[in-house]
Structure 1
Amino acid sequence: MTPANPLAVVTGASSGIGFELARQLAVRGFDLVITADDHDRLNEAAVQIRMEGGQVTAIAADLRRFEEAEHFYDAVRGTSRQVAVVALNAGVGRGGSFLKTELADELEIIDLNVRATVLLAKRFLSDMADADEGRVLVTSSIASTMPGFFQAVYNASKSFLQSFAQALQTELKGSGVSVTALMPGPTGTDFFHRADMDDTKVGQQQKDDPVRVAEQGLDALFAGKDKVVAGSPKTKAQELVNKVLPDKAKAKAHRKMAEPGSGEARS
């Protein structure tokens, strides 16, 4: 029997924006295949998402590893279902001076944010192009629009994703396949804690609601928009400011927000 619901795939779905993207896709009538590297948190997320209806398949995978990313794609293909939506959301960051952070941490950012996204985009978009149908959401960031002091590799990875998404949009123009870049600002997830940025101003400031960010991202995706700056009016205003501020002014502001020790350390 052919499933009644279309199928969506979400990476980095165990928490934060990725979880909300998956949950809200379930609300919108999709079955889900979700992944993250933490088996327990992923299964907990799957239980919550199933409450919204539809089927949810959880496949734990460390997408930083080429073999596991390929295995995840193969597992999705193994469902023998056409994928209607892919949200390439998995990402990681690391705060601190580039000369003081561990090389392994910086390479992890590249492996997950860049390499895994390119790999999965290549696989899923090829299938969508063959069917001439499908939508892809790439989680970029407003960080892509500013220099990444004390987040040098992270911001560069998001700049890559923004450029990558825009290039794909041009290449796929006129087809039945669309690509949308989701550009959130600081959002209320565990990102800043995992990035060791709890003692920075940006780590301690009030953040956007991931529910709102995901909703705006999906609205833009289904409207066929090229990109959306998602979150609060403050975040949207910040993106506009970044466009007009001189590079030196942007650099000064970003350095002040992201420098380690710029906020009061939490107990």
Structure 2
Amino acid sequence: MSETTVRPLALVTGASSGIGLELAVQFAEHGFDLIVAAEDAELEGAARRLRELGAAVSPVRADLTRREDVEKLVAAVRGAGRPLDAAALNAGVGVGGRFVETDLEAELGLVTLNCAATVHLAKRIAQDMVARDEGRILFTSSVASQAPQPFQAVYGASKAFVQSFALALREELAGTAVTITTLLPGPTDTEFFDRADLTDTRLGASDKKDDPAQVAEQGFAGLMKGEATVFAGSLTSKAMGRMSALTPDTAAAKTMKPVAAPGSADT
């Protein structure tokens, strides 16, 4: 039997850059082969980097807002010829700005990717893992899941959905050998703020964002330990995340409002 057939296999979505790519790096550095998915052309460069770490890598270009592309990715996983040992469901987008002014199609697309596609993919993966009674699933949530997010209203709600869904699934699967972990990063130095149109906010303009490699390392470690929730990043980010979970929603929303307001970077 060749070495590649005995290495564990992991799936990472949103793997072309940012936290997703760094999660894939963690898997590769810890002896996993990979199926990596993203919709953009950066995926090929990410795959090359991962192969340099010794992993066998299968890139799948997929737009997970399309159900047929989710099923295409599921088919790639099931057709790999070996079981899926771990999955990091990381793909997601944000939309910033005043809700009455933001683009409806962009926000409906956000809900489809962050919520519906996550449920769709998790359903297929969890069913297969439970049938085998083995596996690990990591959901990339956010500290934004812990409190209402003015000027990121739909994004914050989508991450609250992911967090609630993942923790409920974890409880359902208690007693099986399938573990569910959520990763809650704070503001991280990725393309997220550019893509979400948040660069003119105090939140987006801050030079104190966390390193995505650090976030991914902590998330991977938590996944391997079977932890329920991983607040990731710097000590400050971790503390702020835990504090936001304890703060009443109305107070938390008032705290978030000035840092996420459009144009707040100039104030």
Q: TM-score, normalization: structure 2?
A: 0.97
Q: Distance in 2 between matches of 1:219 and 1:136?
A: 13
2:48 is equivalent to residue 47 of structure 1: yes
Pair 1:143-2:136 in alignment:
no
Determine helix, strand or coil for the equivalent of 2:27: helix
For 1:243 and 1:77, how far apart are their aligned partners in 2? 37
> Counterpart of 1:15 in structure 2: which amino acid?
S
Partner Cα separation in structure 2 for residue 65 and residue 29 of structure 1: 31
Please tell me the residue identity of whatever aligns with 2:60.
I
Instruction: Tell me the residue number matched to 1:22.
Output: 24
Partner residue of 1:114?
A: 115
Aligned residues: 264
* C-alpha separation in 2, matches of 1:52 and 1:255: 42
Counterpart secondary structure, 2:49: helix
Counterpart amino acid of residue 110 in structure 1: V
Matched, 1:239 2:241: yes
The CA RMSD over aligned residues, in Å, is: 1.1
Aligned counterpart, 2:256: 254
Match of 1:179 in 2: 180
Q: CA deviation at 1:78?
A: 1.2
Deviations 1:138-170 (A, max 9, x none): 000010011110111100000000000110111
What's the secondary structure of 2:87's corresponding residue? strand
Alpha-carbon distance in 1 for matches of 2:21, 2:245: 30
Q: Structure 2 regions of 5+ residues with no counterpart? A: none
Instruction: Please tell me the residue identity of whatever aligns with 1:236.
Output: K
Name 1:80's counterpart in structure 2. Answer: 81
The alignment-based identity, stated in percent, is 52
- 1:56 matched residue in structure 2: 57
Please give the residue correspondences for 1:84-99 in structure 2 after superposition, counting only pairs within 5 Å: 84-99=85-100
2:231/2:242 contact within 8 Å kept: no
After the TM superposition, list the runs of 4 or more consecutive aligned residues in structure 1 that deviate by more than 4 angstroms. none
**In the TM superposition, what is the alpha-carbon distance from 1:249 to its structure 2 partner?**
2.7
Could you give the per-residue CA deviations for residues 204-261 of structure 1, whole angstroms, max 9, x where no partner exists? 1110000110000011001011011000011111123213334333112100111110
Whether the 8 Å CA contact 2:93–2:196 is kept in 1: the answer is: yes
- Cα distance in structure 1, aligned partners of 2:228 and 2:259: 28
Aligned partners of 1:127 and 1:246: how far apart in 2?
39
Distance 2:14 2:242 in 1: 28
